Amino acid sequence: MNFKQVIGNWIFEPVLSFIAPVVCLVCEEPLSSGAKIVCEECYCKIPRIDKSFVKKLKEEIPNPNFDDLIVRFEFDPVFQKLIHLLKYERFTSIARLFGQSLAEFIPLEFDLVTAVPLNPVRLKERGYNQSALIAEHLSEITRIPFDDTILQRIRNTQTQTKLSRAERQQNVKEAFIVTGKVKGKRILLIDDVITTGSTLNECAHVLKAAGSDRITIAAIATPVDFLQSDATDNLASALPFQI
C-alpha cells in the first residue's frame, strides 16, 4: 500500500473503515481496533529520553531562565515521520498523541500551560501552531488551564536549522514579548522539539522578567546526536529537516 492510499484511508476512514483497514501512518500495517495514527509497535520503538540526558541537556543551555526541563522522546526516524505529518501534512490529531504522552510526565502544580508562539508568517501559511495544539490537548487531560495569549513573537526570526548555538541565541533575542498577566504564575511552556534550547530559554527569560514565579519547559523530543557528538556548533548535520 503506497502513501497516497494510506492518506486516502485516513481521510475517508469513517466511510471506508468497513471495507478498508485503517493503517499505521509510519509502517502502513493495519491498526488494531481502537488504535489511531500509529501502531503500538511503532510508538513503542521511539526511544524515551532518560533523566540523565535531560540533566546534561539542561547543563548545556547557558544562563537558563527556567526552573525545570522535561523531554519525552528521542528525535528518531519514527518521531521524525510523526512530527512531519503533524507540521506539514495537517495530521493535527498527532498533537493529541503527543499531548497524552507528555501529560503522563507533568506534575499538576501549574497555573497555566502555553506554547512557544510560531513565526507569524509560518502560522499564516500553516494555519495552526503545532506546539499550541499539543499544549491544548495536554490541558484537556491535566486540567491545567491553557492560555496562548501571554506570549507574542514580535519579529520573524530566520530558521534556526543551520545556525550555531551562539547564532541561535542572537537570532531569538528580543523576539518575544509578554502580552498577558504572568506575575506570580507557575507556567508550563511547551515546544515540539528542543535542540539548543535558545528559543525556549528566551521565552522563559521574558516571562521571568515579567514576574512569573516558576517556568518549566517541556518538549516532545530532542535530537540526541548533536549533544553526544560534541558537534553543537554544527546542528544542521544532526537535524534531517527544518524544524
- Which residues are near Zn ion by CB under 5 A? 24, 26-27, 39, 42
Q: Which is nearer to Zn ion, 39 or 150 (CB)?
A: 39
Here the cell at position 164 is 550555531
Say how far apart CA 12 and CA 228 lie, in whole Å: 43
User: What distance in Å separates the CA atoms of residue 105 and residue 33, rounded to the nearest whole number?
Assistant: 26
Q: Which is nearer to Zn ion, 27 or 123 (CB)?
A: 27
User: Would you say 39 or 221 has its CB closer to Zn ion?
Assistant: 39
Q: Are strands 186-193 and 176-178 parallel, antiparallel or unpaired?
A: unpaired
Q: Considering the complex, what minimum distance in angstroms separates the CB of residue 41 from Zn ion?
A: 6
**CA-to-CA distance for 153 and 177, rounded, in angstroms?**
7
Least distance in angstroms from the C-beta of 42 to Zn ion: 3
Q: State how far the Cα of 1 lies from the Cα of 236, in Å rounded to an integer.
A: 33
Q: How far is the CB of 23 from Zn ion (least distance, A)?
A: 8
The answer to whether 188 and 66 have CB atoms below 8 angstroms apart is no
- Residue 15: CB minimum distance to Zn ion, A: 23
Q: Which is nearer to Zn ion, 39 or 200 (CB)?
A: 39
Instruction: Indicate the SS3 state at residue 16.
Output: helix
Q: How many CB atoms lie within 10 A of CB 1?
A: 13
Q: How far is the CB of 48 from Zn ion (least distance, A)?
A: 17
